[in-house]
């Protein structure tokens, strides 16, 4: 279990077992949805300091001119990986195991502009374990499709 000691002057705070981030690490990516004037925008977010568990969120959105753009189908896959020697990973929601240290959770919506996935990652293994959260998203409308990706690392 990781323990992080944060000090300010003579006051110390010990954070234990918290999934609430003190700050966030994020990444974003986008690509055009051909022939529509819209863009597929993806984002990946995770806490950057945690004692035991780390919250994460991924999102796929379609936007045109700063406004929501409805598509036939939009999907998002969150891939969360624990990094480190003999790292393991538990995830809530549990998702699909890819390996001992990697899980995926997917969500697909129809006739809307957004698909989100969020949860709590519980990395284990070495004392120096960290996580990486990646977001892979796609949108489909009128026979065209586009995909984008983003990854946040602590």
Domain-wise residue ranges, the chain = 18-153
* 92: helix, strand or coil: strand
Question: What percentage of the chain has pLDDT greater than the value 90?
Answer: 62
* 7: helix, strand or coil: strand
Q: In whole angstroms, what is the distance from residue 90 CA to residue 122 CA? A: 5
Residue 17 has pLDDT above 50, yes or no: no
Give the pLDDT score at 36: 97
Q: How far is CA 46 from CA 12, 76, 78, 90, 149, in A?
A: 24, 16, 11, 15, 15
Residue 149 has pLDDT above 60, yes or no: yes
Q: In whole angstroms, what is the distance from residue 28 CA to residue 60 CA? A: 10
81 φ/ψ angles, rounded to the nearest 5 degrees: -130, 135
pTM of the model: 0.81
- Please give the structure tokens belonging to residue 33: 């949805």
Closest CA to 148 of 31, 26, 27: 31
Output 20 or 66, whichever has higher pLDDT: 66
CATH code of the domain occupying 18-153: 2.60.40
Residue 21, number of CB atoms within 10 A of its CB = 16
Contact of 105 with 93, CB cutoff 8 Å: yes
Closest CA to 62 of 149, 135, 150, 146: 146
Q: How far is CA 121 from CA 5, 55, 62, 114, 130, in A?
A: 20, 6, 27, 22, 10
């Amino acid at each position: 279990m990781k323990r992080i000691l944060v000090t300010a002057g003579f006051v110390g705070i010990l954070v234990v077992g918290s999934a609430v981030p003190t700050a966030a690490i994020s990444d974003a990516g986008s690509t055009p949805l051909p022939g529509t004037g819209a863009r597929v925008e993806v984002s990946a977010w995770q806490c950057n300091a945690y004692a035991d568990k780390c919250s994460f969120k991924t999102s796929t959105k379609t936007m045109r001119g700063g406004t929501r753009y409805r598509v036939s189908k939009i999907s998002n896959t969150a891939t969360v990986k624990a990094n480190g020697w003999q790292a393991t990973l538990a995830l809530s929601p549990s998702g699909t195991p890819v390996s001992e240290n990697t899980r995926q959770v997917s969500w697909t919506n129809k006739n809307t502009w957004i698909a989100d996935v969020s949860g709590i990652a519980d990395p284990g293994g070495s004392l120096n374990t960290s996580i990486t959260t990646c977001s892979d998203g796609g949108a489909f409308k009128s026979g065209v499709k586009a995909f984008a990706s983003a990854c946040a690392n602590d």
